[in-house]
Amino acid sequence: MNNPSERPTGEFDQSNNRLTENRAFRLLSTVATAGEKFMNAVCKVQGVVASIAVACLVILLVSGSLGRYLFNAPIAITEELGALLFITLGLLALTEGFVEDRQARIQIVWRLLPRRLRGWAIIVGHGLSIIILAVCVGETFKFAYFSFEVNSKTYIADILLWPWMMLIPFSLGMLALATLVRMLVDLRAVLLGEPVKEELNSAIEFDS
């Protein structure tokens, strides 16, 4: 059954919740709100960069095809730069997909949990994800920095690889930051007795 304090939208009546008067909770709420605004701004910037990358990729592929098949003069940089731009698009989409809840979720076990445990399970999952992402950021940064030290380049067009490789730890780091912000947002919701964002965006009925 639904909690009597729950509103149809999934929100809860906080008028009698003394937790909102707690200084530590107000700090948590402020940081979570500011973090959400920051990550939304980051996603907008990354979206603009991704749009530019898409335009460049289209122009590059069209010009390469025209040069190869119409003028019999293929552009050597086309394949290598096209591959780098394509990888860039995928990396830039990581954070935006998470922030906007577009990523795929496997909720088989989570659906079986009692409602009061679902929020805490999500928070634990966020924490584990942050740890794994932190390890990945460290390892991929070492790999990218080694590429910088040896001044590695592509085979045909001599494009420097380390700036593109730095996108890997950067993107994973931004995803870890977005996960941390989401964890704070979900923690605020759990403490208030509200459903977490993942629960609101799922097809689960809010039963007790």
Using 50, 70 and 90 to split pLDDT, how confident is the model at 14? very low
Residue pair 119/190 in contact (Cβ under 8 Å)? The answer is yes
What is the C-alpha separation between 149 and 143, in angstroms, rounded? 10
Please report the pLDDT score of residue 150 as a whole number: 92
Q: Report CA 162 to chain centroid distance, whole Å.
A: 22
End-to-end CA distance of the chain: 5
Structure confidence by residue, pLDDT tens digits, 24-71: 888 999 999 999 999 999 999 988 998 898 898 888 888 888 877 777
Please report the pLDDT score of residue 202 as a whole number: 61
Structure confidence by residue, pLDDT tens digits, 73-110: 777 778 888 888 888 888 988 898 888 888 777 777 88
From the list 179, 172, 201, the residue with the least C-alpha distance to 93 is 172
Structure confidence by residue, pLDDT tens digits, 123-174: 999 999 999 999 999 999 999 999 999 999 888 888 889 999 999 999 999 9
Please report the pLDDT score of residue 140 as a whole number: 95
Residues in the chain, how many?
A: 208
Look up the pTM and report it: 0.80
